[in-house]
């Protein structure tokens, strides 16, 4: 049997990071930055008021109290969006939040600390230089790196770029991942089950997992156990990666294996449970991963093998996050195969098996509770309560 790490290394070697494209910010959500991005303008771009109130010279309101207000003529007013003004000596300037601080002013007195008058204002509290002034560049200066290469463009990062004057960004777009389920026994969700039939849950599982991993699913119409039909379905597919499920084992009707074994896909047994039978290679030049049909095996194979391929396509680091958790309850593990047990978090940092009946690879309904996988080494045959386990996730 092939070691898991060797198989994953072969899988990731099949793909390379997609060529960068430059996208306007609004189209860049979820893509990965292909280069560092620097601020083009300072943030804030100019000194501005943090409060609705009056811009003053702090030195001119020294000692102001409610009992002994300092009275200053109001020389003008500025709302957000106004051009910068100049504060004449011995006066105040009515100002709104976000408006430029007038030249000469060095403090803002909030309106609550005044009588709010429009002609001559009574200042009821002293202020100090710099109070309630948001300084130009205190957040970022031109040339500061706001986004680093390899970072995902999240809402906050896109907002930061917008603020510092970056309108478009070179990014690696979401890869297109084609998904194909196989099997004569499959019918769509909602269809009445005939004898021997089951609902196709792998196609929707993979479609969602691909999305959660930051890629775009391309759902191909399911095929039965006929190799010619499968070849026809895959021929000419426009995708960066193809993922199939089912038909890779040693059964008499293992359609994927029958169709692809002598067409550039290598089938092997990987020392993992579940997910032992696997295929990897290229179909018409496109990287392809052929996963087994059991639904839990699909989830595990995706998390362990396909998710790192998608990460590489996206230009993300494929290294493991190194997350661990403590087992709240124990479970048995198979001999000689590294186990990936679907687990749920019972509390922060503590996990228990998500599937009631152990690690059976058909327990799809129990997967609704799974939040991660616990990775248990091949040499371990029992996870004891309180043991530390490595955690594998499947999202991007």
- Touching ligand MOO, residues 335-364 (CB under 6 A): 361
Contact region with ligand LQZAQKY5 (CB under 6 A), list: 15-23, 36-44, 143-151, 250-258: 250-258
If we measure between CA atoms, which residue out of 289, 271, 269 comes closest to residue 280? Answer: 289
Q: At closest approach, how far in Å is the CB of 310 from ligand LQZAQKY5? A: 20
Q: Is 183 in the site for ligand MOO (CB under 6 A)?
A: no
Q: What share of the chain is helix, strand, coil (3-state, %, to 5)?
A: 20, 30, 50
Q: At closest approach, how far in Å is the CB of 200 from ligand MOO? A: 17
H or E element at residue 12? helix 4-13
Give me the residue label for tokens 């997992």. 209
Q: Is 295 in the site for ligand LQZAQKY5 (CB under 6 A)?
A: yes
Q: Which phi and psi angles does 313 have, rounded to 5°? A: -55, -35
Q: Which residues contact 46 (CB under 8 A, 6 or more apart)?
A: 84, 100, 136
C-beta of 182 vs 294, nearer to ligand MOO: 294
DSSP type of residue 297 = H
Q: Which of 175, 217, 287, 292 binds ligand MOO (CB under 6 A)?
A: 292
Is residue 262 within 8 A of residue 307, CB to CB? The reply is no
Contact region with ligand LQZAQKY5 (CB under 6 A), list: 15-23, 281-289, 291-299, 326-334: 291-299
C-beta of 211 vs 362, nearer to ligand MOO: 362
Q: Is 203 in the site for ligand LQZAQKY5 (CB under 6 A)?
A: yes
Q: At closest approach, how far in Å is the CB of 193 from ligand LQZAQKY5? A: 12
Q: Which of 35, 249, 268, 350 binds ligand LQZAQKY5 (CB under 6 A)?
A: 249
Q: Which phi and psi angles does 131 have, rounded to 5°? A: -65, 130
- Touching ligand LQZAQKY5, residues 161-200 (CB under 6 A): 181, 183, 185-186, 198, 200
Q: Is 275 in the site for ligand MOO (CB under 6 A)?
A: yes
Is residue 161 within 8 A of residue 38, CB to CB? The reply is no
Is residue 390 within 8 A of residue 324, CB to CB? The reply is yes
Residue 47 interacts with, from ligand MOO, ligand LQZAQKY5, none (CB under 5-8 Å by kind): none
Q: Which of 4, 220, 243, 248 binds ligand LQZAQKY5 (CB under 6 A)?
A: 248
Q: Which residues contact 251 (CB under 8 A, 6 or more apart)?
A: none
Q: Which residues contact 52 (CB under 8 A, 6 or more apart)?
A: 95, 96, 97, 110, 111
Q: Is 122 in the site for ligand LQZAQKY5 (CB under 6 A)?
A: no
Contact region with ligand LQZAQKY5 (CB under 6 A), list: 8-16, 157-165, 242-250, 260-268: 242-250
Give dist(CA 78, CA 350) in Å, integer.
56
- Angle ∠(326,330,333) on CA atoms, nearest 5: 105
Residue 286: exposure state from Cβ atoms within 10 A (0-12, 13-18, ≥19): buried
Q: How many residues bind ligand MOO (CB under 6 A)?
A: 8
Residue 295 interacts with, from ligand LQZAQKY5, ligand MOO, none (CB under 5-8 Å by kind): ligand LQZAQKY5
C-beta of 133 vs 209, nearer to ligand MOO: 209
Give dist(CA 58, CA 119) in Å, integer.
19
If we measure between CA atoms, which residue out of 76, 89, 80 comes closest to residue 48? Answer: 80
> Which residues contribute to the site for ligand MOO (CB under 6 A)?
273-276, 292, 294, 297, 361
* Positions that interact with ligand LQZAQKY5 (CB under 6 A): 181, 183, 185-186, 198, 200-203, 245-251, 254, 274, 276-277, 292-295, 297, 361
């Amino acid at each position: 049997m092939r070691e898991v790490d060797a198989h994953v290394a072969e899988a990731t070697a099949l793909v390379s990071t997609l060529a960068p494209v430059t996208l306007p910010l609004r189209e860049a959500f979820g893509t990965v930055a292909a280069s560092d991005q620097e601020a083009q303008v300072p943030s804030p771009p100019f000194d501005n008021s943090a409060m609705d109130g009056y811009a003053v010279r702090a030195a001119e309101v020294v000692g102001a109290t409610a009992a002994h207000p300092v009275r200053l003529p109001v020389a003008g007013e500025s709302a957000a969006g106004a051009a910068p003004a100049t504060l004449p000596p011995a006066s105040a300037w009515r100002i709104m939040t976000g408006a430029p601080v007038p030249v000469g002013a060095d403090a803002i007195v909030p309106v609550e600390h005044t009588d709010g008058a429009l002609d001559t204002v009574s200042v009821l509290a002293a202020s100090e230089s710099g109070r309630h002034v948001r300084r130009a560049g205190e957040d970022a200066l031109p040339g500061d790196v706001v986004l680093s290469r390899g970072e995902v463009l999240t809402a906050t990062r896109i907002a930061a770029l917008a603020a510092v004057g970056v309108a478009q960004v070179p990014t690696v777009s979401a890869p297109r991942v084609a998904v194909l389920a196989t099997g004569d026994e499959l019918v769509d969700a909602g269809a009445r089950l005939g004898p021997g039939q089951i609902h196709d849950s792998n196609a929707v599982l993979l479609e969602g997992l691909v999305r959660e991993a930051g890629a775009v699913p391309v759902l191909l119409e399911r095929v039965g156990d006929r190799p010619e039909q499968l070849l026809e379905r895959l021929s000419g597919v426009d995708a960066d990666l193809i993922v199939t499920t089912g038909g890779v084992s040693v059964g008499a009707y293992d359609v994927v294996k029958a169709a692809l074994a002598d067409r550039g896909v290598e089938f092997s047994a990987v020392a993992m449970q579940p997910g032992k039978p696997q295929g990897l290679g290229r179909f018409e030049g496109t990287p392809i991963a052929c996963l087994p049909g059991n639904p839990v095996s699909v989830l595990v194979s995706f998390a362990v093998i396909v998710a790192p391929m998608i990460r590489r396509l996206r230009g993300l680091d494929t290294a493991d996050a190194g997350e661990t958790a403590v087992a709240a309850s124990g479970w048995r593990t198979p001999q000689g195969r590294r186990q990936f047990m679907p687990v749920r978090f019972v509390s922060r940092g503590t996990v228990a098996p998500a599937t009631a009946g152990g690690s059976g690879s058909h327990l799809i309904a129990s997967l609704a509770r799974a939040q991660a996988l616990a990775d248990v080494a091949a040499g371990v045959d029992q996870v004891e309560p309180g043991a530390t386990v490595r955690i594998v996730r499947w999202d991007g």
